[in-house]
Chains A and B, each alone.
Chain A
Amino acid sequence: MTKGLKWAVDLVLYLCALFFLFPIYWMITGSFKSQSMAIRIPPELFPSSPTTANYTKLFAESEVVRWLLNSVLIAGGATLLTCAVATMAGYAFTKHRFTGQAVLFGLVIVTMMIPRQLGLVPLFTLMRNLHLVNNSWSVILPVLALPFAAFLMKQFSQTVPNELLEAGKIDGCSELSLFARLFVPVVKPGIGALAIFVFSFTWNDYLWQLIMLSDEAKMTINVGISTLVSEFSANYGAQMAAATMGFIPIFVVFIAFQRYFVKGITVGSVKG
């Protein structure tokens, strides 16, 4: 390649990255623009007279803090419980033998390939019959059943040497302490990757949360923000402030656990 062509390719590459980052940049800077500046043409690339008025309005006129808290509790709760359930399942699938094991794992593989949306209506009627409409459990429980979580933990559990558990047995460990004291510490990096996956999955499980949580006090951040589009219609600064509030927490999680994100992606797909 000639030097000129190389420069051109690099330029296109960085412009592409810009295309992906621009909406996020525009959202954050827009949240600091006053109503008149937000709709001005030509637009300001960077707010010359930044204002926090949009945030004041957002906190005064919406339940954004409550929604954030709901999201943290729901995503956090779902993550903790799913990790527990899936780690036990991974352990059972790889270190134990029980009747129906192969059939059950076959079902896990098959259901992994069926879109969850197929069960949307029955899951809704089930939750209604359990009186869980507008209850956080209605959006936590289906996450625990994610077949991918059990599949991922089975993959990680396979890497734990059987000799380790055999040695524990010889030393007289009970079944529970074999699991808690020997197995779990070894498989911890896998649990970390799963935790990140489940947390962001639950945080962004918008459609299901939209169906189950219609009471304003029960909404998650994404559902709540989506209702503000009509409430703050044409007030783009306030809409962007709401979107930014939804962006910051998950961004912080991403920065803090970036390597787990990458690990979760590659382990979940192709080996080697």
Chain B
Amino acid sequence: MASRAYREFWGFFFILPFLLVFAAFEIYPFLDAIYLSLFDYGIGRKEWVGFGNYAHLLGDEVFLKSIRNTFLLVLGVVPLSVGFSLATASIVIHKSAAVASFFRASFYLPIVTSQVILSIAWLWIYNPMTGVANYGLSLLGIGPVMWLSDSSVTLIAVILVVITWCVGQPFILYMAGLGGIPASYGEAASIDGASPWRKFWSITLPLLKPTTLYIVVTTTIGAFQTFVVIQLLTGGGPNYSTTTIMYLLYETAFKYGNLGLASAMGVLLAILISMFSLIQFKFFRSDVEY
């Protein structure tokens, strides 16, 4: 039997590279963010302000607007993409393997394509004069929509784009989940005279609950951090109608150099997201063994 010191040595030997990068580039930045959020910190200045940054943020109209926008975005994106992927997966699962992989690829391709590339394509599609979106609407007799400059529609325009990369992963997970439900469950229910709807609500949906929960939480976390599409499509405008927390954080830190204030935003965003992550943690504990 090897000695204790020998075993400790080889354990540390294999964990050491990860331990070093994890401490330096993951743990340290998190802790430092909390620390920096207590300072008025920028180029050439670092002054202790306690919770001053937080007090400022909670009274700041633009920040409150960014919270509102972020929540509206989450409320638009999450139910739509989860509902859509469940509905399509429930239909596609009964199709042939070739059809199934066509849909899998169609929905997953936008994820593979980076958000930057898709946003640039949408920038053209949404152009009020030369874009194909307004051309399509004109065929239906609907007048030109100022997709990216009319503050009553910009958030909807953004949500439509974000949904294109929020469906691929849920769709694949639902296909896997549906494939794992034994056919005998449905057959037994059919013998008992259950309608297809009844089977879906009473058998399929409850069995997919862990998958659904995971999808809802991960999609929510992703939507909370929406940045790319805002930066490229609207720049947060018009009149802050599409400024998300993440975009405001980026502007505050890297455009205006208010690093302390931006750190406080990061902490508040992390608290918001952690509340949702806690649900995930509970779910992880009950359904996945480490």
Q: Which of B10, B105, B253 has the most CB of A within 10 A?
A: B10
The interface residues of chain A, by DSSP majority, are classed as: helix
Interface string of B96-139 (1 = CB under 8 A from A): 00000011111111101111111011111101011010010000
Q: B67 on the interface (CB 8 Å rule)?
A: no
Contacting chain B: which of A46-54, A85-93, A186-194?
A: A85-93
Contact with A along B242-257 (1 / 0, CB 8 A): 0000100110011000
Given A86-B18, A243-B117, decide whether A265 and B169 contact each other with a Cβ distance below 8 A: yes
Q: Does A170 sit at the interface, judged by CB under 8 A?
A: no
Cβ contact within 8 Å between A226 and B281: no
Contact B116 A226 (CB under 8 A): yes
Partner of B266, one of A105, A120, A246: A120
- Looking across the interface, which residue of chain B has its beta carbon closest to that of A224? B116
Q: Which residue on B lies nearest to A155, using beta carbons?
A: B290
Q: Looking at the complex, which one of A115, A122, A144, A145 makes contact with B270 (CB distance below 8 Å)?
A: A115
In the complex where A97-B7, A115-B221, A119-B26 touch, is A42 in contact with B266 (Cβ < 8 A)? no
Instruction: Please measure, in the bound complex, the distance between the C-alpha atom of A261 and the C-alpha atom of B168, giving whole angstroms.
Output: 11
Q: Are B10 and A96 in contact (CB under 8 A)?
A: yes
Bound Cα distance A10, B104 (Å): 15
Residues on the B chain within 8 Å of A123, using CB:
25, 29
Report the interface size class on chain B.
Answer: 35 or more
A39 within 8 A of B: yes
Contact of A13 with B91 at beta-carbon distance under 8 Å, contacts A24-B110, A121-B259, A247-B117 already known: yes
B17 within 8 A of A: yes
- B141 sits at the interface (CB 8 A): no
Q: Which residues of A contact B110 (CB under 8 A)?
A: 20, 23-24
* Residue of A whose beta carbon sits closest to that of B132: A43
**Min CB–CB distance B232 → chain A (angstroms):** 6
Residues of A within 8 A of B105 (CB): 258
- Tell me the number of A-to-B contacts counted with CB atoms below 8 Å: 281
Min CB gap A209→B, angstroms: 10
Interface membership of B152, Cβ < 8 A: no
- A206: which of B28, B114, B122 is its contact (CB, 8 Å)? B114
A271 and B288 contacting across the interface, CB-CB below 8 Å:
yes
Cβ–Cβ contact A111 & B30, under 8 A = yes
Contact A145 B25 (CB under 8 A): yes
Query: Contact at A150–B22, with CB atoms within 8 Å?
Result: yes
Cβ-neighbour of B277 out of A98, A113, A147, A254 (below 8 A): A113
Given contacts A96-B10, A229-B123, A254-B112, contact A115 B224 (CB under 8 A): yes
Is B201 engaged at the interface, CB distance under 8 Å to the other chain?
no
When the two chains form the complex, which single residue of A122, A258, A272 contacts B36, counting CB atoms closer than 8 Å? A122
Mark each residue of chain A from 112 to 142: 1 if its CB lies under 8 Å from any CB of chain B, else 0: 0111011111111110000000000000011
**Do A126 and B28 touch across chains, with their CB atoms under 8 A apart?**
yes
User: CB-CB contacts of A16-52 with B at 8 A, as 1s and 0s?
Assistant: 1101110110110010000000111111000000000
A225 at the interface (CB under 8 A from B): yes
Q: Does A60 contact B (CB under 8 A)?
A: no
Known: A39-B130, A89-B18, A270-B173. A20 touches B167 (CB 8 A): yes
Known: A17-B102, A229-B120. A207 touches B15 (CB 8 A): no
CB <8 Å contact, B106 and A21: yes
Given contacts A254-B112, A270-B287, 13 further A-B contacts (CB under 8 A): A10-B91, A98-B11, A114-B270, A118-B33, A126-B25, A158-B290, A207-B246, A236-B127, A240-B124, A243-B117, A251-B112, A262-B172, A269-B214
Give 25 pairs: A residue, B residue, CB < 8 Å, sorted on A. A20-B167, A21-B109, A23-B164, A26-B132, A42-B135, A88-B17, A92-B18, A93-B15, A97-B7, A104-B15, A107-B22, A111-B22, A114-B277, A119-B28, A120-B253, A121-B253, A122-B30, A124-B254, A145-B22, A207-B246, A225-B120, A243-B120, A247-B117, A254-B112, A270-B173
- Enumerate chain B interface residues (CB-CB to A < 8 A): 7-8, 10-15, 17-19, 21-22, 24-30, 32-33, 36, 84, 88, 91-92, 102-110, 112-118, 120-125, 127, 129-130, 132, 135, 164, 167, 169, 172-173, 176-177, 180, 196, 210-211, 214, 218, 221, 224-225, 227-228, 231-232, 246, 249-250, 253-254, 259, 262-263, 266-267, 269-270, 273-274, 277-278, 280-281, 284, 287-290
